[in-house]
Amino acid sequence: MLIGLAIRDVVLIEALDLSIGPGFTALTGETGAGKSILLDALGLATGSRAEAGLVRRGAASAQATALFALPADHAAWAYLDDKGLAYVRDEDLVLRRTLAADGRSRAFVNDQATSVAVLRDLAAMLLEVHGQHETVGLLDSGTHRGQLDGFGRTVGELAATGQAWSAWRAAREGADAIRDRAGRAAAETEEMTLRLAELDRLDPREGEEVALAEERGLLGAAEKALTDIAAAREALDGNNLTSRLAQAARALERARERAIQAGASQEGRAVQLIAQAAATVERALSEAVEAVSSVDAAAAAFDFEPDRLEKAEERLFALRAMARKLGSTVEELPALRARFAASLREIEDVEAAIAEAERLAAVARSAYLAAAGRLTAARTAAGDRLSQAMTQELAPLKLDKAQFRVGIEPLPEDRFGPAGADKIAFEVSTNPSAPFGPLGQIASGGELARFALALKASLAGRDADQPLMIFDEVDQGVGGAVADAVGLRLRRLAAGAQVLVVTHSPQVAARASAHWRVSKGGEGGQVRTLVEQLSATEREEEIARMLAGAQITDEARAAARTLIAG
Spatial strand order in the sheet of 93-100:
13-19, 2-10, 61-68, 93-100, 105-109, 112-114
Domain that holds residue 237: 154-375
Residue 94 has pLDDT above 60, yes or no: yes
Residue 301 lies in a domain: yes
70 dihedral zone (left: phi>0; alpha: psi -120 to 50; beta): beta
Mean pLDDT of 314-328: 88
Can you give the pLDDT at residue 189? 77
Q: Residue 414's CB: how many other CB atoms inside 10 A?
A: 5
Can you give the pLDDT at residue 523? 67
Q: Would you call 510 helix, strand, or coil by DSSP?
A: coil
Pick the closest to residue 278 from 317, 240, 252, 308 (CA basis). Answer: 252
Question: In the structure, what pLDDT confidence band is assigned to residue 395 with cuts at 50, 70 and 90?
Answer: confident
φ/ψ of 292, rounded to 5, equals -60, -40
Question: In the structure, what pLDDT confidence band is assigned to residue 105 with cuts at 50, 70 and 90?
Answer: very high
CB 322 within 8 A of CB 199: yes
Can you give the pLDDT at residue 408? 94
Can you give the pLDDT at residue 230? 76
Distance of CA 385 to the CA centre of its chain: 36
Can you give the pLDDT at residue 462? 59
Can you give the pLDDT at residue 223? 66
Question: In the structure, what pLDDT confidence band is assigned to residue 312 with cuts at 50, 70 and 90?
Answer: confident
Q: What is the mean pLDDT of the chain?
A: 85
Spatial strand order in the sheet of 422-429:
403-410, 422-429, 437-438
CB 426 within 8 A of CB 439: yes
Q: Would you call 123 helix, strand, or coil by DSSP?
A: helix
Mean pLDDT of 514-524: 82
CB 544 within 8 A of CB 552: yes
CB 56 within 8 A of CB 526: no
Residue 449 has pLDDT above 90, yes or no: no
Mean pLDDT of 148-158: 91
Can you give the pLDDT at residue 114? 95
- Least confident range of 20-29, 318-327, 339-348: 339-348
Give residue-wise pLDDT tens across range 4-27.
999 999 988 889 999 999 999 999
Strand partners, 28: 517
Cα–Cα distances (Å) from 326 to 187, 188, 210, 259, 331, in that order, read 17, 14, 19, 86, 12
Pick the closest to residue 105 from 54, 38, 67, 50 (CA basis). Answer: 50
Question: In the structure, what pLDDT confidence band is assigned to residue 374 with cuts at 50, 70 and 90?
Answer: very high
CB 2 within 8 A of CB 468: yes
Can you give the pLDDT at residue 303? 61
Question: In the structure, what pLDDT confidence band is assigned to residue 47 with cuts at 50, 70 and 90?
Answer: very high
Higher pLDDT, residue 378 or 239: 378
Can you give the pLDDT at residue 431? 81
Residue 138 lies in a domain: no
Residue 486 has pLDDT above 90, yes or no: no
Residue 432 lies in a domain: no
Residue 158 lies in a domain: yes
Give residue-wise pLDDT tens across range 173-200.
999 988 887 777 667 777 888 888 988 9
Q: Would you call 433 helix, strand, or coil by DSSP?
A: coil
Residue 435 has pLDDT above 80, yes or no: yes
Distance CA 491, CA 238 (A): 127
Residue 132 has pLDDT above 80, yes or no: no
Pick the closest to residue 343 from 197, 175, 187, 182 (CA basis). Answer: 182
Residue 331 lies in a domain: yes
Q: Residue 374's CB: how many other CB atoms inside 10 A?
A: 17
Residue 401 has pLDDT above 60, yes or no: yes
Can you give the pLDDT at residue 60? 93
Residue 306 lies in a domain: yes
Higher pLDDT, residue 110 or 181: 110
Question: In the structure, what pLDDT confidence band is assigned to residue 302 with cuts at 50, 70 and 90?
Answer: low
Residue 138 has pLDDT above 70, yes or no: no
First to last CA, the chain: 27
Higher pLDDT, residue 325 or 189: 325
Higher pLDDT, residue 489 or 31: 489
Domain total for the chain?
Answer: 1
Beta strands in 398-525 (DSSP E): 403-410, 422-429, 437-438, 468-472, 498-502, 514-521
Q: What value does the CA radius of gyration of the chain take, rounded to a whole number of Å?
A: 50
Can you give the pLDDT at residue 175? 92
Distance CA 325, CA 320 (A): 9
Can you give the pLDDT at residue 445? 58
Residue 239 lies in a domain: yes
Question: Please, where are the H alpha helices in 409-535?
Answer: 439-442, 445-459, 480-493, 506-509
Can you give the pLDDT at residue 286? 83
- Least confident range of 155-169, 199-213, 464-478: 464-478
Please state the three-class secondary structure of 217-238 as a single string: HHHHHHHHHHHHHHHHHHHHHC
Residue 566 has pLDDT above 70, yes or no: yes
Give residue-wise pLDDT tens across range 220-274.
666 677 777 777 777 776 557 777 778 888 888 888 787 788 777 778 887 788 8
Give residue-wise pLDDT tens across range 71-85.
988 989 999 999 999
